């Protein structure tokens, strides 16, 4: 695995002060600390190019050994030409054009769907011993207002093949699909979505309930295990914002409670809610608070540390769940072998799946190459006023043809691909920063940002 996120972020506490909202609205209410963002120099193609090229270089993967390449994203810059085709420029240099796969889109679920497609391909004769690569990547931006603090930007590139240290447990996936307008992007001239926040939370929770029930049933049949929240070592979630995940852990405990016998002392704090019907349980705030409190130790031990990337980077849409896996690898490196990871992927609209991973070998080499903690610490904080200016420029140039980007390259990490221009027909040209950044200090970087 390899990750990419921009070198710049905005601090959520500073954003609270700048927006004039109550202290803790973003940091406590949403559970967020920092939010990664990018300017007009970066788009979904450049983000994916950076992640894939870095993956190939760090793990010394022969370009000719890749037979499938898929991209999960909901960030669109062209209604016909896929991001995957842009990535083929990396493989053309090595004369490898025999690579299957294409983009997969359904809100935040696209990366998971792409991985399932790649897993299926690996078990066919078309694989022929080659690798599959899946890139889950998005740029999450919102118009000025209450949703803006739930943005973010990032990519996770995953190399899939035989004899891997992390394996997918077969026969236990459980999905929930429905037609829901909770989050959608009908305006093709804008990056901004339409969001029904209350509906989105209900849809997420409904899907979680259904997937957990289905996963438990299949795991009992396939693995011979009566699954409860006690079973997996860690529980990973798609994370639009961390507070929703904390509530989701409580919701899984509530599901365990519903499957228990009346009077079970493990669930004494929830006993008063045993008679609730499903629809009422979705909106009952007293139940939500009681479940979060009752599951506090469960959250602390099995989920909290999986949210490091989400807290530090923000919502990365298709990459969000996979950043949770990256956080787990980075924070529990030495204790993961033999452990099961329960995963819940959700995409608005909606599509959701619960599945499990098993760590069968050491992942220390992954943690070392990803180098998450150092890379997060090396980023530069940008004042909220400049952050809003950068997003305003991004909004102004979105979808524009005949564009030459002008922002300073000093804001980009070494080895980052960036957008050079968009010609009059909409054809995009990219370049890559050098492998080493000049010795630019954090204060110099911040000054460069302020001049934008």
**Which residue numbers are catalytic?**
74, 108, 238
Neighbours of 435 (CB within 10 A): 8
Written as one string, the DSSP assignment of 313-366 is H---GGGHHHHHHHHHHHHSGGG-TT-EEEEEEEETTTEEEEEEEEE-S--HHH
Q: For 244-275, give one letter per residue: b (16+ CB within 10 A) or e.
A: bbbbbbbbbbbbbbbebeeeeeebeebeebee
Cα separation, 449 vs 411, in Å, equals: 7
Residues paired with 356 in a beta bridge: 342
Cα separation, 355 vs 242, in Å, equals: 20
Query: Cα dihedral sign for 411, 416, 420, 423?
Result: negative
Cα separation, 67 vs 101, in Å, equals: 9
8 A C-beta contact, residue 365 and residue 409? no
Report residue 224 as tokens: 């011979």
First to last CA, the chain: 33
Cα–Cα distances (Å) from 206 to 137, 173, 179, 199, in that order, read 25, 17, 13, 10
Residue bearing tokens 């909004």: 395
Report residue 304 as tokens: 């909290």
Q: Which residues contact 159 (CB under 8 A, 6 or more apart)?
A: 1, 55, 59, 61, 131, 132, 133
Beta strands per DSSP E along 5-106: 8-11, 34-36, 66-72, 103-104
Cα–Cα distances (Å) from 198 to 61, 201, 203, 204, 205, in that order, read 44, 5, 9, 10, 11
């Amino acid at each position: 695995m390899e990750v990419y996120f921009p070198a710049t972020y905005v601090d959520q506490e500073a954003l609270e002060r700048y927006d004039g909202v109550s202290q803790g609205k973003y940091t406590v209410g949403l559970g967020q600390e920092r939010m990664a963002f990018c300017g007009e120099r970066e788009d979904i193609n450049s983000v994916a190019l950076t992640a894939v090229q870095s993956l190939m270089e760090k793990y010394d993967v022969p370009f000719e050994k890749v037979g499938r390449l898929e991209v999960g994203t909901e960030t669109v810059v062209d209604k016909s030409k896929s991001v995957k085709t842009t990535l083929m420029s990396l493989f053309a240099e090595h004369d490898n054009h025999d690579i299957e796969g294409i983009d997969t889109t359904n809100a935040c679920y696209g990366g998971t769907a792409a991985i399932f497609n790649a897993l299926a391909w690996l078990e066919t004769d078309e694989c022929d011993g080659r690798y599959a690569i899946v890139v889950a990547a998005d740029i999450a931006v919102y118009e000025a207002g209450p949703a803006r603090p739930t943005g973010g930007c990032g990519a996770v590139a995953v190399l899939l093949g035989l004899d891997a240290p992390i394996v997918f447990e077969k026969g236990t996936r459980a999905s929930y699909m429905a037609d829901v307008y909770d989050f959608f992007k009908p305006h093709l001239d804008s990056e901004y979505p339409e969001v029904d926040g209350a509906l989105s939370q209900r849809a997420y929770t409904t899907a979680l309930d259904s997937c957990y029930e289905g996963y438990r049933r299949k795991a009992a049949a396939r693995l011979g295990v009566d699954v409860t929240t006690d079973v997996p070592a860690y529980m990973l979630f798609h994370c639009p914002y961390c507070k929703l995940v904390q509530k989701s852990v409580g919701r899984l405990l509530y599901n365990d409670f519903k499957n228990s016998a009346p009077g079970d002392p493990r669930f004494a704090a929830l006993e008063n809610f045993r008679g609730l019907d499903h629809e009422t349980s979705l909106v009952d705030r007293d139940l939500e608070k009681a479940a979060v409190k009752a599951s506090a130790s469960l959250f602390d031990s099995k989920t909290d540390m999986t949210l490091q990337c989400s807290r530090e980077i923000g919502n990365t849409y298709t990459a969000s769940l996979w950043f949770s896996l990256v956080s787990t690898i980075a924070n529990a490196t030495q204790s993961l072998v033999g452990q099961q990871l329960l995963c819940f992927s959700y995409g608005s609209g909606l599509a959701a799946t619960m599945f499990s991973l098993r760590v069968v070998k050491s992942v220390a080499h992954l943690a070392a190459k990803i180098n998450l903690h150092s890379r997060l610490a090396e980023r530069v904080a940008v004042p909220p006023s400049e952050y809003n200016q950068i997003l305003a420029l991004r909004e102004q140039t979105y979808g524009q043809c005949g564009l030459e980007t002008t922002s300073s390259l000093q804001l980009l990490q070494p080895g980052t691909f960036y957008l050079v221009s968009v010609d009059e027909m909409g054809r995009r040209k990219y370049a890559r920063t050098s492998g080493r950044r000049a010795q630019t200090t954090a204060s110099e970087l911040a000054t460069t940002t302020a001049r934008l």
